[in-house]
C-alpha cells in the first residue's frame, strides 16, 4: 500500500486569495504480483522512457518532472494502470 498526500497553501498577493492545493494518490499493489512501491517508483520512469523512445517526449537534457509535456501523458498512462492522482483546490 502506498499513500501519497501533498498539500500546499498558497497566497496570491495580487488577488488576496488563499488556496489549498491537494494531491492524493493511493495504490494497493497487485495481489501475488507487483507491490505498490514497485508500481509507483518503477512505472513512471518506464513510461517516460517509452515515450522518449517513441518520440512523444522530444525535450533534451536533464528535465524536471513538472513539464506538462512529460507530466500529462505519464499521469494519463498511470491512470490506465490503475494509479490515479486526484487533485483538488479549495479557497481558504
In this predicted model, which residue has the larger pLDDT, 64 or 27?
Answer: 27
pTM score, whole prediction: 0.80
Count of helix runs (H) and strand runs (E) in the chain: 2, 3
Per residue in 37-50, pLDDT (tens digit) is 999 999 999 999 99
70 exposed, middle or buried (CB, 10 Å; 0-12, 13-18, 19+)? buried
Q: Are 70 and 48 in contact (CB under 8 A)?
A: yes
- Categorize the per-residue pLDDT at 63 as very low, low, confident or very high, splitting at 50, 70 and 90: confident
The pLDDT of residue 16? 94
Amino acid at each position: 500500500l502506498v499513500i501519497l498526500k501533498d498539500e500546499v497553501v498558497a497566497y496570491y498577493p495580487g488577488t488576496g486569495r488563499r488556496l489549498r492545493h491537494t494531491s492524493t494518490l493511493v495504490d494497493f499493489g497487485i495481489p501475488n504480483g507487483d507491490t505498490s512501491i514497485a508500481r509507483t517508483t518503477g512505472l513512471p520512469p518506464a513510461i517516460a522512457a517509452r515515450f522518449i523512445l517513441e518520440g512523444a517526449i522530444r525535450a533534451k537534457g536533464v528535465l524536471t518532472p513538472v513539464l506538462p509535456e512529460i507530466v500529462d501523458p505519464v499521469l494519463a498512462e498511470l491512470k490506465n494502470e490503475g494509479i490515479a492522482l486526484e487533485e483538488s483546490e479549495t479557497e481558504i
